[in-house]
Chains A and B, each alone.
Chain A
């Protein structure tokens, strides 16, 4: 049985898309099926050709009605494509649009959905997903009982798909009837921090929490970030206090990030927050309290009021970078 992977053409063939493709290739190999990539949204030739190098077929849905993301229309298009393909599994990344559509798509296909997967396996023909639960305090394995399995994955937890030795895949463009009147219509979009890489793709993240006490210290963190090529993030407490945009939020209920280095500043490290950074390679922390749970996850740390650390840290990093 075939595996479908879904990519939205408004993003690139980034690390997340590569991870989804990698997960899809492994599953297709185990199940003895083809890996078929669906690219939905406005035409993105670069993405189509990157996917053609790793998948066995690329299905492009770029007709005029799909020029911009509209949930009901995209859902209709994916439903139609998936019905025709009759796959064993449909794999998404864990971006907004994927999470929005996956459960509904599963329902329309009479399949089962599960999200935020960090591992996939096949047991007696049934697809199983591992995901973290209870705010990251536990990990569960879930077996999907209906087919197809519609899964959204913590995509960076999966190795990228290898390029094929054989010729690149054929690109097909099925005609999908989308002449529907959508009851919802997205009428305005705004990106914050345009030009910056997505937080999920960041190699280094410096993140601020409740202990910062206000929005001003984020300016200092920005200076540190600038010195080491890091991106800024925040805990839920800092976002809820309005100190920074909600799109910076990292945690069970925010972004799930996977940087090489995550520096937590004045973040205590509730399991809710840790659930968002469990894929970080190295965690470091600056915290005034040696007993803060964050230190249990850290490779290295400093126990000190961040206010005393940050100005010095800026100096030291600047000197070391020279």
Chain B
């Protein structure tokens, strides 16, 4: 099984709200002292791929479309034991729109060659757009299943389990297939071993330019053909918390319970 896992590098979403700033001009978050990290759902996707490879064998290629910094995401993927790493250099728009991203990833995947399965995170922790998987499937002309948290080899095709609003569904699918991965208790990303981290530093990374994968680099660099961010701001919150008071815990909980009843009765 040839598996391609697409990884997105994002500003660490754990940055506390008090340190979060917006650059109104560039219409994006100010990086400040925050680290760049691999989007958590992409890591869930890689973990799911690693577990699938343990069952079925095959090769995992980690694919990143990012500026040079994207190398860090690929080194980590290699340390988690992906087999190969491909970086498509984004030398232009800082946050290309989702169709541009899907278009680039599809071109890179065609360049990589044969694949059975493409795995992406369900959405990213920065813009949270949630479209890469679906658009990529359309660009590649293959089916797509979203919110997947487990894959197994069945008798005729893959058996794919995915989460729904109130439970789950199991699907049988032919390959090639695109899946978007969501988290569950079993695909929490593994921590790479120190030895594997050291080894990953020496492993080769294939670097491709936009020209090399045959996309119209100028239009990707320009961005905004699909949609455009016209404004971004930090919402103002005006809530003050009233902490319940009382001489004893009993009194405080009593106050708390009364507030609950007050609110629920007004609904």
User: Taking beta carbons and an 8 Å cutoff, which residues of A are in contact with B?
Assistant: 71-72, 95-96, 99-104, 106-108, 112-116, 128, 131-135, 137-146, 182-194, 196, 198, 200, 203-204, 228-229, 236, 239-242, 246-247, 252-253, 255, 260-261, 263, 270-272, 275, 282-286, 290, 293, 295-304, 308-309, 312-313, 316-317, 320-321
User: Are A141 and B229 interface neighbours, CB within 8 A?
Assistant: yes
Interface pair B135/A107, CB less than 8 Å apart: yes
B106 shortest CB reach to chain A, Å: 11
Closest A residue by C-beta to B259: A300
Q: How far is the CA of A130 from the CA of B37 in the complex (A)?
A: 26
Residues of the B chain whose Cβ atoms lie less than 8 Å from the Cβ of A185: 171-173
Q: Are A203 and B267 in contact (CB under 8 A)?
A: yes
Using CB atoms, name the residue of chain B closest to A129: B227
The interface residues of chain A lying within 8 Å CB-to-CB of B166 are: 191-194, 196, 198, 247
**Contact A239/B259 with A302-B252, A312-B250 known, Cβ cut-off 8 Å:** no
Residue numbers in A under 8 Å from B145 (CB-CB): 71, 100, 184
Who on chain B is nearest to A310 by CB?
B253
The answer for the CA separation of A218 and B194 in the assembled complex, in Å, is: 37
Once A71-B145, A133-B127, A272-B125 are accepted as A-B contacts, the answer to whether A190 and B235 lie under 8 Å apart by CB is no
Asked whether B149 is an interface residue with its Cβ less than 8 Å from the other chain, the reply is yes
Q: What string of 1s and 0s marks CB contacts (under 8 Å) between B249-267 and chain A?
A: 1101110111111011011
Interface membership of B177, Cβ < 8 A: yes
State the Cβ distance, B182 to closest chain A Cβ, in Å.
7
B84 to chain A, nearest CB (A): 26
- Cβ of B198 within 8 Å of any chain A Cβ, yes or no, is no
From 99 to 117 in chain B, residues with beta carbon under 8 angstroms from any chain A beta carbon are 99
**Can you report 22 residue pairs joining A to B where beta carbons are below 8 Å apart?**
A100-B145, A113-B98, A115-B129, A134-B20, A134-B127, A137-B17, A139-B234, A139-B235, A145-B224, A184-B172, A187-B170, A189-B164, A189-B168, A193-B166, A253-B182, A263-B260, A290-B243, A299-B241, A302-B252, A302-B256, A316-B253, A316-B256
CA–CA, A228 and B259, complex, Å = 12
Is A313 in contact with B253, judged by CB distance below 8 angstroms?
A: yes
Shortest distance from the beta carbon of B193 to any chain A beta carbon, whole Å: 22
Contacts of B227 in A (CB 8 A): 112, 114, 142-145
Give the residue of B41, B234, B243 whose beta carbon is less than 8 angstroms from that of A300: B243
Q: Are A317 and B143 in contact (CB under 8 A)?
A: no
Is B201 at the interface (CB under 8 A from chain A)? no
Residues of B within 8 A of A134 (CB): 11, 13, 20, 29, 126-128
| Min CB–CB distance B102 → chain A (angstroms) | 8
- B243 and A303 contacting across the interface, CB-CB below 8 Å: yes
A282 touches B256 (CB 8 A): no
Indicate which residue in B230, B237, B261 contacts A321 across the interface (CB closer than 8 Å): B261
B164 partner residues in chain A, CB cutoff 8 A: 96, 189, 191, 247
Q: Is the CB of B263 within 8 A of A282?
A: yes
Q: Is the CB of B174 within 8 A of A183?
A: yes
The reply to whether A108 and B183 form a contact with Cβ atoms under 8 Å apart is no
Which of A247, A255, A312 touches B249 (beta carbons < 8 Å)? A312
CB distance from A5 to the nearest CB of B (A): 18
How far is A281 from B217 in the complex, measured between Cα atoms in Å?
46
Known contacts A247-B167, A263-B260: A96-B147 contact under CB 8 Å: yes
Question: Which residues of A have CB within 8 Å of B226?
Answer: 112, 144-146
**Nearest CB in chain A: distance from B51 CB, A:** 15
Cβ contact within 8 Å between A246 and B267: no
Chain B residues whose CB sits within 8 angstroms of the CB of A184 once the complex forms: 143, 145, 160, 171-174, 177
Shortest beta-carbon contacts, A-B, top 8:
A103-B134, A242-B185, A316-B257, A107-B138, A103-B131, A260-B267, A298-B241, A100-B146
A85 to chain B: closest CB distance in Å? 20
Q: A115-B130, A133-B127, A247-B165 are in contact. Are A140 and B231 (CB under 8 A)?
A: yes
Q: A103-B134, A242-B185, A299-B241 are in contact. Are A191 and B167 (CB under 8 A)?
A: yes
Interface assignment of B203: CB less than 8 Å from any CB of chain A = no
Known contacts A99-B130, A100-B147, A140-B229; decide if A241 and B241 are in contact (CB<8 Å): no
